[in-house]
């Protein structure tokens, strides 16, 4: 009896000390595990899309970016056949738990779509790509909840291939009684056509250095370029020089500009064209630009519209082009982020782009596939 009481007290103290994000994970497991709210996914396939409606998510607190309740699962477009199709559009919206009434997209933090690189590249005899980079296809996020790839382009997958989805909720503004939501995710595709051109996705993002010995001191007079990371367990990296870098950091009140060289993140082995960009930003970002440092030219700027009467991103622009923009392996590229924290307290920030490039190597494999058919 006393051991149970002691365990409860220790567990309660441990829980109270957890950050908001970890509390949300535990509460979601309890809500679903004990059947307090619906834990089932509703998957609705069609000839041109697969729709995935999430289990119920309970919003019982203010949840800033990367903090809210989330759910994950693997899926296939159609496990009963193995047809080649082309993914070409992405949609996420917030729904009531009746799965009919649409709610504000302000309850969407992000929805990540990943593929299994071992399975995917193994099917195309591109084994040298396995493990080369994190196999993220794209992300829909706050302010940019839906977008299409340009006409004639897509990401080729077989209908029985395993894909992976992770979606996280958001609540910057609503306090009071708990309420429930669902996320409704639609991934669009079209049947195989020999005229389609394949795209590969590259994830590029801003990282800033921090002092690994004293990470939460932030910038100092001696180290003015150091950032203040949100935490050091997630979104932390080490570069070739041994510096510790964070992709999720604090922005202080007022305006600021951040730059990061993404040449190595792009991993360009050959010149190719860029055809689409989806951007992930947090509130108080104003714009994120992709710059060719070699030619001193801006290739694309994602403009972010912040709400004026509440915290949140009203809209973030994205890039889509059939003709594309040329990128070169002997050029250097960087992201330039401009922020304006209009509050009197510190806020958090992330800045990423999901860059879709023409995949010349995959196209060669597709030509062989088409010839065999």
Alpha carbon dihedral 148, 64, 342, 305, in 10-degree steps, equals 10
Q: Which of 329, 274, 267, 270 is nearest to 300 (CA)?
A: 274
Token pair listed for 225: 């370029």
Given this model, what pLDDT does residue 6 score?
53
Given this model, what pLDDT does residue 131 score?
94
Owning domain of residue 147: 2-198
Domain assignment of residue 74, yes or no: yes
Tally the C-alpha atoms within 13 A of residue 99's C-alpha that lie toward its C-beta.
Answer: 14
Same domain, 207 and 173: no
Domain assignment of residue 160, yes or no: yes
Same domain, 345 and 210: yes
Given this model, what pLDDT does residue 14 score?
59
Same domain, 99 and 194: yes
Token pair listed for 281: 């930003």
As beta bridge partners, residue 140 has 111
Profile the chain (373 residues) by mean pLDDT over runs of 10 residues: 56 65 90 95 97 98 95 96 97 96 96 97 96 95 96 98 98 95 98 97 96 89 88 89 93 96 96 98 98 98 97 97 98 98 96 98 95 82
Token pair listed for 237: 């990296």
Domain assignment of residue 370, yes or no: no
Domain assignment of residue 368, yes or no: no
Same domain, 130 and 267: no
Number of domains in the chain: 2
CA 69: distance to chain centroid? 15
Question: Which domain-ending residue is among 198, 226, 255?
Answer: 198
As beta bridge partners, residue 259 has 336
Question: Which domain-ending residue is among 140, 171, 198?
Answer: 198
Given this model, what pLDDT does residue 23 score?
87
| Residue 162, domain CATH | 2.60.120
Question: Which domain-ending residue is among 151, 181, 198?
Answer: 198
Same domain, 171 and 229: no
Vertex 264, ends 148 and 279: CA angle to 5°?
25
Given this model, what pLDDT does residue 373 score?
74
Same domain, 25 and 37: yes
Given this model, what pLDDT does residue 1 score?
61
Same domain, 183 and 121: yes
Domain assignment of residue 181, yes or no: yes
Domain assignment of residue 367, yes or no: no
* Distance separating alpha carbons of residues 298 and 61, to the nearest angstrom: 40
Three-state SS string across 1-52, please?
CHHHHHHHHHHHHHHHHCCHHHHHHHHHHHHHHCCCCCCCCEEEECCCEEEE
Contact 162, 122 (CB under 8 A): no
Q: Which residue has the tokens 């020089």?
A: 241
Query: How many other CB atoms are there within 10 angstroms of residue 296's CB atom?
Result: 7
* Distance separating alpha carbons of residues 150 and 324, to the nearest angstrom: 9
Given this model, what pLDDT does residue 13 score?
58
* Distance separating alpha carbons of residues 330 and 89, to the nearest angstrom: 31
* Residues contacting residue 276 through CB under 8 Å, at least 6 positions apart: 147, 149, 150, 153, 199, 318, 319, 320, 321, 355, 356
SS3 call for 4: helix
Same domain, 27 and 168: yes
Same domain, 229 and 93: no
Query: How many other CB atoms are there within 10 angstroms of residue 130's CB atom?
Result: 14
* Distance separating alpha carbons of residues 163 and 114, to the nearest angstrom: 6
Same domain, 189 and 260: no
Same domain, 112 and 29: yes
CA 323: distance to chain centroid? 25
Given this model, what pLDDT does residue 322 score?
98
Same domain, 86 and 114: yes
């Amino acid at each position: 009896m006393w051991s149970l009481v002691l365990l409860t007290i220790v567990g309660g103290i441990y829980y109270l000390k957890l950050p908001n994000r970890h509390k949300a994970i535990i509460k979601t497991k309890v809500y679903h595990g004990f059947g307090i709210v619906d834990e089932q996914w509703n998957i609705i396939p069609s000839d041109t899309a697969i729709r995935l409606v999430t289990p119920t998510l309970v919003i019982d607190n203010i949840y800033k970016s990367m903090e809210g309740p989330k759910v994950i699962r693997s899926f296939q477009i159609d496990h009963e056949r193995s047809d080649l199709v082309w993914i070409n559009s992405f949609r996420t919206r917030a729904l009531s738990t009746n799965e009919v009434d649409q709610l504000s997209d302000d309850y969407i933090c992000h929805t990540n779509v990943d593929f299994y690189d071992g399975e995917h590249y193994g099917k195309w005899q591109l084994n040298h790509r396995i493990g080369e980079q994190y196999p993220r296809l794209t992300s829909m996020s706050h302010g940019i909840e839906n977008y299409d790839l340009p006409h004639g382009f897509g990401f080729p997958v077989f209908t029985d291939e395993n894909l992976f989805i992770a979606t996280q909720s958001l609540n910057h503004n609503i306090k009071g009684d708990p309420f429930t939501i669902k996320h409704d995710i639609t991934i669009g595709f079209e049947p195989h056509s020999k005229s389609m051109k394949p795209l590969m996705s590259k994830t590029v993002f801003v990282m800033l250095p921090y002092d690994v010995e004293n990470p939460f001191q932030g910038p100092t007079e001696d180290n003015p370029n150091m950032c203040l990371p949100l935490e050091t367990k997630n979104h932390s990296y080490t570069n070739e020089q041994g510096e510790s870098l964070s992709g999720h950091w604090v922005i202080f009140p007022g305006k600021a500009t951040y730059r990061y060289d993404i040449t190595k993140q792009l991993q360009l082995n050959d010149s190719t064209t860029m055809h689409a960009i989806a951007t992930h930003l947090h509130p108080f970002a104003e714009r994120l630009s992709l710059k060719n440092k070699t030619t001193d030219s801006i290739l694309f700027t994602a403009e972010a519209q912040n709400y004026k009467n509440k915290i949140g991103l009203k809209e973030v622009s994205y890039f889509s082009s059939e003709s594309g923009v040329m990128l070169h392996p002997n050029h250097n590229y960087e992201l330039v982020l401009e922020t304006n924290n209009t509050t009197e307290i510190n806020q958090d920030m992330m800045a990423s782009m999901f860059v879709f490039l023409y995949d010349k190597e995959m196209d060669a494999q597709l030509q062989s596939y088409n010839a065999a058919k």
